[in-house]
Amino acid sequence: EKGNYRHFMQKEIFEQPTVVAQTLSSYVRPLEQKVALPQIDFDISAINRVTIVACGTSYYAGMVAKYWFEQFARVPVDIDFASEFRYREPVLEKGGLALFISQSGETADTLAALRHCKAEGQTIAVVVNVPTSSMAREADLLLPTHAGPEIGVASTKAFTCQLAVLAALAAHFAARKGRIDAAEEAEIVRYLLEAPACLNGALQHDDEIAAMAHLIAPARDVLYLGRGPDFPLALEGALKLKEISYIHAEGYAAGEMKHGPIALIDEAVPVIVLAPSGPLFEKTVSNMQEVRARGGQIVLISDAQGLEEAGEGCMATIEMPKVHPLIAPLVYAVPVQLLAYHTACVKGTDVDQPRNLAKSVTVE
Ligand code: M6R
């Protein structure tokens, strides 16, 4: 049931504050200020390598998690598209954790990679939204997202719920491995619990983004730029726009622009820059200036402080609440989802059932 919404995708975008809170409630204990995972019968502190495998949007959630696991827990992470994973004959050392991320839990490539890792003696963890799925059944450690059924082909609420679980998992790893103390764990818990309110704050910009979509809809190509954990968000933004509006879009690590793609820039190419203020902000802004110097039309997504510093001269800006870098990827997912959604609406495409796509890809 769509209720008052025009599309399932729109409804699912707006459900995010609720379903992220719902998901977090199984992974954090607010009173004790600790992260908590489902009962597990193996020693997480003994894990020295994590291999993440997924497809599409779930893969981008995995890319964000790589930054978190490495930064907080100092665990090395490998990540692959499921369709590439087995064929490169990956080296899987004993005692590794293989982590699969999937909304449906049925994606054929991801499931095949899971079975491969199981046969190779890896401990299997899965982050899935469908608790009765094949992946859920075959896991050693089941980490469910509680996003509820996701109907729109473009994944939205499953993604932010995956990020919520992965952030909690990274913090759990960090705590068990003695990389963070109780006070730091409590701080992470506080930031995570702020996420639903921050998502709500991001959703308040819906009308503004709907108006902005008229600037994006005529474009033939759109670029998305981000750095650090917001780089996967640039990839996710480009994927969302491609799949529902059929506009060609690319996500790039902001610093990589000058190594080639900047040749594409002219007045007709909107460039969406994801740049929360923080340690990487100045660097991203200088990449943005390189784009602007070549006539690029910029949409800057940042917080009040970032927009104050770098918003001048942009074609448009979207103000996000000021958030801790840990939860920025969750919050910045909202404007890229809304921008893709409204652009598709302007173009009149079938938002919930885009051409050539299925909700669950059960062939390899
Ligand atoms: O069910 P899964 O998370 O395993 O699906 C993976 C991809 O097929 C999926 O994320 C796809 O990229 C979405 N249509 C993106 O919006």
Q: What ipTM goes with this model?
A: 0.98
What is the structure's pLDDT at 276?
A: 96
321 CB burial (10 A radius; 0-12, 13-18, 19+) = middle
pLDDT higher than 80, residue 138: yes
Q: Which residues line ligand 1 (CB under 6 A)?
A: 55-58, 102-104, 107, 110, 153-155, 239, 243, 360-361
108 CA from centroid of ligand 1 (Å): 11
178 CA from centroid of ligand 1 (Å): 34
- The residue nearest atom 9 of ligand 1, judged by CA position, is 56
54 CA from centroid of ligand 1 (Å): 9
The best mutation among 7, 9, 13, 58 to test binding of ligand 1, ranked by most ligand atoms within 8 Å of the C-beta, falls on: 58
- The residue nearest atom 7 of ligand 1, judged by CA position, is 56
Tell me the per-residue pLDDT of 105-130, one tens digit each, with 9 for 90 and over.
Answer: 999 999 999 999 999 999 999 999 99
> Given the CA of residue 104, which atom of ligand 1 is nearest to it?
1
What is the structure's pLDDT at 316?
A: 96
- The residue nearest atom 8 of ligand 1, judged by CA position, is 56
Mean pLDDT rounded to a whole number for the chain: 95
Residue given tokens 């095949």 in the structure block: 112
d(CA 192, CA 240): 25
> Given the CA of residue 357, which atom of ligand 1 is nearest to it?
14
Encoded amino acid at 107, one letter? T
State the pLDDT confidence band at 309, using cuts at 50, 70 and 90: very high
pLDDT higher than 90, residue 6: yes
The best mutation among 52, 53, 55, 100 to test binding of ligand 1, ranked by most ligand atoms within 8 Å of the C-beta, falls on: 55
How many helical (H) and strand (E) elements, i.e. helices and strands, does the chain have?
Answer: 13, 12
Task: Give catalytic status of residue 359 as yes or no.
Answer: yes
- The residue nearest atom 11 of ligand 1, judged by CA position, is 56
- Per-residue b or e along 103-117, where b marks 16 or more CB atoms closer than 10 Å to that residue's CB: bbbbbbbbbbbbebb
What is the structure's pLDDT at 261?
A: 87
103 CA from centroid of ligand 1 (Å): 7
What is the structure's pLDDT at 343?
A: 98
Percent of the chain whose predicted confidence (pLDDT) is above 90: 86
The encoded tokens of residue 174 equal: 């960090």
Do 322 and 307 contact (CB within 8 A), yes or no?
Answer: no
pTM for the model stands at 0.97
DSSP string, 176-231: HTTSS-HHHHHHHHHHHHHHHHHHHHHHTTHHHHHHHHHHHTT-SEEEEEE-GGGH
Tell me the per-residue pLDDT of 192-251, one tens digit each, with 9 for 90 and over.
Answer: 999 999 999 999 999 999 999 999 999 999 999 999 999 999 999 999 999 999 999 999
Instruction: Show the CA angle centred on residue 221, arms to residues 53 and 247, nearest 5°.
Output: 70
55 CA from centroid of ligand 1 (Å): 6
Q: Which of 118, 177, 347, 359 is catalytic?
A: 359
- The residue nearest atom 14 of ligand 1, judged by CA position, is 154
- What residues contact residue 219 under an 8 Å CB cut-off, 6+ apart? 247, 268, 269, 270
pLDDT higher than 90, residue 364: no
217 CA from centroid of ligand 1 (Å): 24
The best mutation among 336, 359, 360, 361 to test binding of ligand 1, ranked by most ligand atoms within 8 Å of the C-beta, falls on: 361
